A = this chain, B = another copy of it.
Amino acid sequence: MAITVVGSVAFDTVETPAGRIDRCLAGAATYFSLAASYFTDVRVIAVVGEDFTSKEEAVFAARGIDTRGIERAPGKSFFWQGSYLENLNEAKTLQTDLNVFASFEPKIPEVYRDSEFLFLANIDPVLQKRVRDAMPDVKLVGGDTMNYWINDHRENLLKTLKGVDILLINDTETKLLAGTRNPVKAAKDVLALGPKSLVVKHGEYGATAFFGPSSFAGLDAHHPFRAPALPLAEVIDPTGAGDSFAGGFFGYIASQKELTPQVFKKAMFYGGVMGSFTVERFGTQRLQQLTRDEIEERFAIFRELTHLDGKN
């Protein structure tokens, strides 16, 4: 079943201890859709400038991703430059040029309207809500956000969260959104804001899914679930790991008939798997050329890493 994702399609310049890449294809919607494309049909809503050429278009096309919702506008695409030289776990932003993104007005192609799944990647919560409201019939809505929206656009974000079923954010964002440092209390407080499930991403330590008092996907407050991240010998570029997690997670759910506890848990694993691939190369390089066999192989490694009945 198809997922529509709204978010940024951008160019990044990134420095990490492993090297540097200039103006590579990036953006939350790009990472998300590439990761999800290994599981299900994906449709993107975004805006790009004249620097988005047939070369970038071909990356989406090669993965069968529907780009009819990517608007071409005069000017340049969203550009971000960051450095992980000081801290591999957190980027230092050196430059952000919104460019055509500054006046982004998401337009939903008619052919996207039968999507059963919607993912609101990290953009202005006002735009997230507009897309969500325009697609009232979707079965499941996932969402992401970041510190900037939590701090400076809280009221708008709170309105958006009421329409999100599964919120995927990291530890810092969870604590900031809840206003408490206790991770379990923070999760509980965030769940009171609307989402039926909160997936907290822990970077190298994996991710934990929390649920409210009411059952969702057959799981509830008594059944948090934790999926690992792979201990990696070398992280080349951490950019996009979280968006890739969301893509693998949501993509797997969309590929299944029903959202059972087992499906939710496996989705957490696939999220971690896709995130672990992304950081192995700069930009979206690794995500562009995976096979389903490689994905299943890594899923098995994640399982063995955490399960008492592993092969060894």
Stretch at the interface among A54-62, A72-80, A134-142, A260-268: A260-268
Whole-angstrom distance between the Cβ of A205 and the nearest chain B Cβ? 4
Complex contact B305–A307 (CB within 8 A): no
Assembly CA distance A88 to B312 (angstroms): 36
Q: Which residue of B lies closest to A235 (CB)?
A: B182
Q: Which residue of B lies closest to A218 (CB)?
A: B312
Interface residues of A in 272-312 (CB under 8 A from B): 303-310, 312
Given A88-B181, A202-B205, A208-B231, answer yes or no on A308-B266 (Cβ-Cβ < 8 Å). yes
Does residue A153 face the partner (Cβ distance < 8 Å to B)?
Answer: no
Interface residues of A in 205-234 (CB under 8 A from B): 205-206, 208, 210, 218-219, 223-228, 231-234
Does residue A162 face the partner (Cβ distance < 8 Å to B)?
Answer: no
Q: Which residue of B lies closest to A261 (CB)?
A: B312
How many residues on chain A are close to B (CB under 8 Å)? 41
Complex contact B266–A312 (CB within 8 A): no
Interface residues of A in 51-91 (CB under 8 A from B): 88
CB neighbours (8 Å) of A310 from chain B are 223, 225, 261, 265
CB neighbours (8 Å) of A312 from chain B are 218-219, 223, 261
